[in-house]
Amino acid sequence: MKIYTLTITYNDVTDEMESLEETITEKEVPIAIDASEEVMEKLFQADLIKDLLLPCPGERVGET
């Protein structure tokens, strides 16, 4: 998800815009898979690890 913020600094005395700043922040929701060794093995055997985590690079996967 991206958050767009537009900051306008306006001087009401001089009736002029002093600055205009756009900030884009990416907000990611972390994901983690914690499963038993048996479940992790079944995910691996079914070749599902890549499909589950491809949209979430850099996240943690492990056994509980």
| Domain residue limits at 30 | 2-63
DSSP 52: H
Task: Tell me the C-alpha distance between 39 and 21, whole Å.
Answer: 49
pTM: 0.39
Residue owning tokens 């990611």? 28
The number of distinct structural domains making up the chain is 1
Residue 63 pLDDT > 50 = no
pLDDT score of 62 more than 80: no
Helix or strand holding residue 63 (H, E): strand 60-63
- Residue partners of 39: CB distance under 8 A and separation at least 6: none
Two tokens at 22? 């756009």
**pLDDT tens digits, 11-41:** 999 999 999 999 998 876 666 667 788 888 8
